[in-house]
A and B are shown apart, each in its own frame.
Chain A
């Protein structure tokens, strides 16, 4: 994302190595105006709330997924999520938890293939919250949709209501949970936008992994802040949401599908 005028400021002159670097470094924003300032959106610290402060509706967390950069055989985001949050399969795909999955599509007419990760879409008006009989399914002030497992009774209405098939039911006993990510049999769970990391000023594990290990197809940030990288991208490029016709206004936004 370097403008031509910025490239002129680069010293030494652009050589093949630097060209390759700039081509490859889609994840890095290299601003070379007054002096040299390098900002990686993925590494840029998101604002940390003060201790004791509740999440605020001034912030609307969002995730932009650029399907043009994502590739069919890459599962770095899925592996990162699994490792970070400690969910794993038992070789039973029908019942195994799945917080994030790769969906591969092919247009039969043109042959074009597209691959995209799908997880909880963190809707503005989440149907899972509407149907929950106990109030366990909830949306935090900053737009992150969570399950309060303390009061979840495992009825799975939310799983039926979710048009994205984003939630999983824990069918088996769980041991060795991560300290920051309690999980237990008989409750429903889904992507949390890595809320424990976001509250600590970090970005979700999938975004970090994609940026550092794969193609930089994921951008996380505050959709309410016009100066955030995700807001800039959303205002510059045509984007959509999956099943936008449902009007759920998800926080997960796709480009290139």
Chain B
């Protein structure tokens, strides 16, 4: 389907009749989208809007149509975005949306960047000055060592009582 469309695009350009059809980049990773290409082209907006409401308002997580999943596969580097140093999905979306003159505002709030380098762990910073305030810090090294060992035990998971 994609090949037919792309073939059609190049043919129309060659014939010189009208605006060339959009030619979105191939997915950065993955060979198969979650739905057939034609279905995704028609209905991706419906899928996203339906699922965003379920996720935000009902707290349903982990379902099929996720903007983050779009970004994970379809974000590509582009010389127009931060000199091609990051993968973003905006160039992929813009290809067709510019052609159809449809303005989307997903990315005025959502980041379009892929999470390749984004840490998903805890984000709070280490503040050395606050460690001083711990009643046990710097006062009693054996207590600190004991606490560290207890924390290590906790990290391993506590045995069932």
Contact = CB atoms under 8 A, between A and B. Distances in A.
A52 B62 contact: yes
Interface residues on A, range: 35 or more
Interface string A139-159: 011101010111000000000
A10 to B, nearest CB: 11
SS class, residues of chain B in contact with chain A: loop
Interface in A118-170: 138, 140-142, 144, 146, 148-150
Interface stretch (A92-100, A205-213, A225-233): A205-213
B56 A150 contact: yes
A51 B136 CA distance: 41
Contacts of B124: 76, 79-80, 83-84, 205, 208-209, 213
A80 B58 CA distance: 26
Given A35-B161, A38-B153, A83-B124, A55 B59 contact: yes
Given A35-B159, A74-B130, A179-B113, A49 B61 contact: yes
Contacts of B58: 54-55, 140-141
B109 A182 contact: yes
A87 interface: no
B160 to A, nearest CB: 8
A40 B154 CA distance: 8
A149 B126 CA distance: 31
B123 A205 contact: yes
Nearest to A195: B59
Interface of A: 16-18, 20-21, 23-25, 28, 30-31, 33-40, 43, 49, 51-55, 71, 74, 76, 79-80, 83-84, 138, 140-142, 144, 146, 148-150, 174, 176-179, 182-185, 187, 195, 199-200, 205, 208-209, 213-215
Interface of B: 52-54, 56-63, 68, 71, 108-111, 113, 115, 118, 122-127, 130-131, 133-136, 139-140, 142-143, 146-147, 150, 153-154, 158-159, 161
A168 B157 CA distance: 39
Contacts of A200: 61
Contacts of A37: 158-159, 161
A33 B108 contact: no
A35 B131 CA distance: 31
A209 B123 CA distance: 9
B130 A182 contact: no
Given A179-B115, A199-B59, A205-B123, A34 B109 contact: no
B109 A51 contact: no
Nearest 7 A/B pairs, CB to CB = A51-B62, A55-B59, A184-B109, A80-B124, A24-B136, A182-B109, A17-B142
Given A51-B61, A214-B133, A21 B143 contact: yes
Contact of B61 (A23, A185, A199): A199
A179 B123 CA distance: 13
Contacts of B154: 38, 40, 43
Contacts of A36: 159
A125 B57 CA distance: 17
Contacts of A33: 161
Nearest to B49: A150
Contact of B52 (A52, A53, A74, A150): A150
Nearest to B56: A148
A185 B35 CA distance: 33
Contacts of A54: 54, 58-60
A174 B130 CA distance: 30
Of B56, B60, B136, the most chain A CB neighbours within 10 A belong to: B56
A18 B150 contact: no
A71 B125 CA distance: 19
Contacts of B142: 17
